[in-house]
Amino acid sequence: MLTTALIVLAVATLAFGLSASAGLGGSLLLVPVLALLLGPKEGVALSALLLASNNVAKVVAYRATIPWGAALWVVVLTVIGAALGARLLVSTPESWVRIAVAASIALTLIGERVGLDRLRKASSPVLAFCAGLTSGFSGTSGPLKGIALRSLNFDRRHLTGAASTVSLAGDAAKLTVFASTALLDGFAGAIWVAAIPLMVLATAIGRRVNSEMGERGYTILFWTVMAGYTLRIALR
């Protein structure tokens, strides 16, 4: 059990740092490892607890660059989707999900290249809701949340602040469901306590990385995370 706890804390620290640097991506590392070590349901629940707490630290760190008004509708739709996804068993075939995700990424890339701002903005509400829905039942929103936020044309700091806020809202919605179950036990509580100083340290380091990189560097980091989410979905 001690070895499992140390592995969870090590991976969580890496996830916290990545999430603070890019604004999202923590679940990309944390959910698969915790699901493997603890089981799918327990892994998703503990990931939600750790990531929600880490997102509190991120919101504090990026409080000056959170575009509350512009990102509010993304928060609302993500929360609704996350609450539904955590309660419902979604029967959509995996092949449909993969096609939809790949198509959304392709459309976003095309929109960025040729300036189709209206196309990207029109699709972002659907992507935000679907991001919350998939996060609720699988533990991660994949690239959909990032693409929905990217369509709002924020610079890297405002995008990171918006992503932190949306992630916190979605994880909090899931936790309200998981809190009434036996998925969060004493082991989860001990891990959470031990992870608090780690998430503070990792968030501080991640914020420094974010502030020192240029827009091009952040764009590369953002799309690397998006590619990682897509690869994970493809390999399921």
pLDDT of residue 42: 81
* Cβ proximity of 157 and 166 under 8 Å: no
pTM for this one? 0.75
pLDDT of residue 192: 93
Residue 168 CA to residue 162 CA, distance in Å, equals 10
Q: What DSSP character marks residue 180? A: T
Residue 15 CA to residue 23 CA, distance in Å, equals 11
pLDDT of residue 197: 94
Q: What DSSP character marks residue 184? A: S
Residues in the chain where the model's pLDDT stays below 50: 89-91, 94, 112, 115-116, 119
pLDDT of residue 116: 44
Q: How far is CA 129 from the centre of its chain?
A: 13
pLDDT of residue 228: 78
Query: What 3-state class would DSSP assign to 11?
Result: helix
Host domain of residue 103: 2-234
Residue 96 CA to residue 102 CA, distance in Å, equals 10
What single-letter amino acid sits at 100?
Answer: A
pLDDT of residue 194: 94
Find the helix or strand (DSSP H, E) in which 18 lies. Answer: helix 2-22
Q: Look at the chain and report how many structural domains it folds into.
A: 1
pLDDT of residue 104: 52
